[in-house]
Structure 1
Amino acid sequence: MTHPQLQAVNLSQFYGPTAALDHLDLIIHRGQSVAIMGPSGSGKTTLLHALAGIDVPQDGEVYFHGATGAEAVHVMSAEQRAELRLKHFGFVFQAGLMLTELTVVENVALPLMLSGVDRASAYQTASAWLNRLGLEGMGDRRLGQLSGGQAQRVAIARAQVCGPEVIFADEPTGALDSVTSAEVLQALLESTAERGATLVVVTHDEHVAARCARTIRLRDGRIVADSEAADSEAADLNVPRAGAARTTSERVAP
């Protein structure tokens, strides 16, 4: 993988004396599935929010490498970042964060309609995604009528419906039992990989991380292990993958 999709350069975020991100450098390549792990307070969600343009870091640079080149997320206005998230990013959160007053199909179709797609076409595309994720015939239900696993499949459908280049998932299986978690994770991985999109997952679950192509571990706002670096070192030495890793620090954006 040679094409960057997301990039953080010297990223820092402090809350008083506590470093949520501490001069962090990171490149995520197009089409990768990446798990971000670490203990509570290590900076996982802060990093996801910075990469996704939800929050602007106190210092450093964030780039999204799209079809038209590198876009500097860290200098965008709130309105520009909202448009970036709508058009290029999809989100799956542990709690779903869907609108309970809307039906399932209305929730999935909403990003399309916000993008200017007419209602009929949006509903048709939303229904196709629901069918694809094993939720055929459930479009008229309310969220309260679904199981936890079904609700997360709805969240995946909503995240995928606009065809975003990047899916961000924050503990997407954290509230599910082990069997349902495996099923939901499989649906998330398959639906993202089939489109050639990039997946960034924040998780505490080693089973979730093991299913991703790359695992990044944080502690105190810094990358302390990166399986991609470990794989690269092992390949250079022509030896099996080592257990330790080093931080990737290459710089791509101007």
Structure 2
Amino acid sequence: MEFQHSSPAPTAGTPTAVLTATALVKRYGPTTALDGASLRVHRGEAVAVMGASGSGKTTLLHCMAAVIGPDSGSVQLTVDGHATEIAGLDEEARSQLRRTRFGFVFQNGMLLPELTALENVALPLMVNGHPRHAAESAAAPWLAALGLAGMEQRRIGQLSGGQAQRVAIARAQVTAAPVVFADEPTGALDSATSDDVMNALLYATKGQGRSLVVVTHDPRVAQRCDRVLHMSDGRIVREEEPVR
């Protein structure tokens, strides 16, 4: 199914952002997951990170997204000229950053099955202190923009895999986070649905001036991004621009 949004995307005044990781090292016991990885992601850019299992790509995403802290190195987020060093933050500060500056899309959505589609999208705003009515009023236009108008009250089990991933994409956008991280967002989908979800993801991120970092095994997904980084043994060993 080809993705077609049914209404313009909400305009949330996305702030400019640049995310820079420098010489990241992360070890788990005797295993070195990251061995000096560095990269820079600009505003409105989609970057794919590829590599074999165990190459360090998910660890790199988690360090850049303030999910974990590196053992050494720097992760700096610059939003509208204000720089924050992520690597040195404590867990409370990292949690606040994840809630306000970053959006997340996972392979299996990580949606709450007991909530409706609308409630799932509104949830990040409510966690940040917005009243329920205001949060749901902000969430509904994102569902409509991603082709889910009329499905607001469906629970996740009543949606197809592609529809559920679009709910996850809407949830990642509703706070106007300038950077979105996607970890194998199409990994559980067939090729046609994968194309549909990638269209939605790129529309909701690059199309709105947001930055996207996507970890993927799928060359077809990587081909849709502006740059592709290849990882091996915790290092970025090659960078390329897809040929279209």
Partner of 2:20: 7
Partner of 1:237: none
Displacement of 1:68 in angstroms is: 4.5
Q: Does 1:69 align with 2:82?
A: yes
Amino acid paired to 1:21: L
| Mapped partners of 1:113, 1:38: distance in 2 | 36
Provide structure 1 residue ranges, at least 5 long, that are not aligned to the other structure: 232-240, 242-254
Please state whether the residue corresponding to 2:87 is helix, strand or coil.
Answer: helix
Q: Which shows bigger deviation, 202-211 or 123-132?
A: 123-132
| Mapped partners of 1:21, 1:132: distance in 2 | 38
Partner of 2:144: 131
Partner of 1:163: 176
Amino acid paired to 1:169: A
Please state whether the residue corresponding to 1:98 is helix, strand or coil.
Answer: coil
Higher relative contact order (CA 8 A, sep 6+): 2
| Equivalent in 46, 49, 63 of residue 50 of structure 1 | 63
Deviations 1:216-237 (A, max 9, x none): 0000000110126xx9xxxxxx
Q: Runs of 4 or more off by more than 4 Å in structure 1? A: none
| Equivalent in 192, 201, 206 of residue 179 of structure 1 | 192
Q: Does 1:26 align with 2:39?
A: yes
Provide structure 2 residue ranges, at least 5 long, that are not aligned to the other structure: 1-15
| Mapped partners of 2:18, 2:173: distance in 1 | 17
Partner of 1:226: 239
In the alignment, is the contact (CA less than 8 A) between 1:4 and 1:27 conserved in 2? no
| Mapped partners of 1:65, 1:215: distance in 2 | 22
Partner of 1:252: none
Displacement of 1:52 in angstroms is: 0.3
Displacement of 1:4 in angstroms is: 6.7
In the alignment, is the contact (CA less than 8 A) between 2:17 and 2:179 conserved in 1? no
| Equivalent in 121, 129, 133 of residue 116 of structure 1 | 129
Partner of 1:86: 99
Amino acid paired to 1:64: L
Q: Over aligned residue pairs, what C-alpha RMSD do you find?
A: 1.5
Partner of 2:167: 154
In the alignment, is the contact (CA less than 8 A) between 1:61 and 1:72 conserved in 2? yes
| Mapped partners of 2:141, 2:178: distance in 1 | 19
Deviations 1:120-177 (A, max 9, x none): 1211111111111111111111111111000000000000111110010000000000
**Number of residue pairs the alignment of both structures matches:** 228
Amino acid paired to 1:14: R
| Equivalent in 47, 50, 56 of residue 37 of structure 1 | 50
Pair member with larger Rg:
1
| Mapped partners of 1:213, 1:68: distance in 2 | 23
Displacement of 1:118 in angstroms is: 1.8
| Mapped partners of 2:81, 2:129: distance in 1 | 21
Displacement of 1:69 in angstroms is: 1.8
Please state whether the residue corresponding to 2:37 is helix, strand or coil.
Answer: strand
Counting helix residues as a fraction of each chain, which structure ranks higher?
1
Return the TM-score normalized by structure 1. Answer: 0.86
Please state whether the residue corresponding to 1:223 is helix, strand or coil.
Answer: strand
Displacement of 1:15 in angstroms is: 2.3
In the alignment, is the contact (CA less than 8 A) between 2:25 and 2:71 conserved in 1? yes
Please state whether the residue corresponding to 1:60 is helix, strand or coil.
Answer: strand
User: % of aligned pairs identical?
Assistant: 55
Return the TM-score normalized by structure 2. Answer: 0.90
In the alignment, is the contact (CA less than 8 A) between 1:36 and 1:202 conserved in 2? yes
Deviations 1:40-95 (A, max 9, x none): 00001000000000001111111111124210101111111111111111000001
1:8/1:102 CA distance change after superposition, 3 Å? same
Displacement of 1:101 in angstroms is: 1.3
| Mapped partners of 1:148, 1:105: distance in 2 | 16
Please state whether the residue corresponding to 1:75 is helix, strand or coil.
Answer: coil
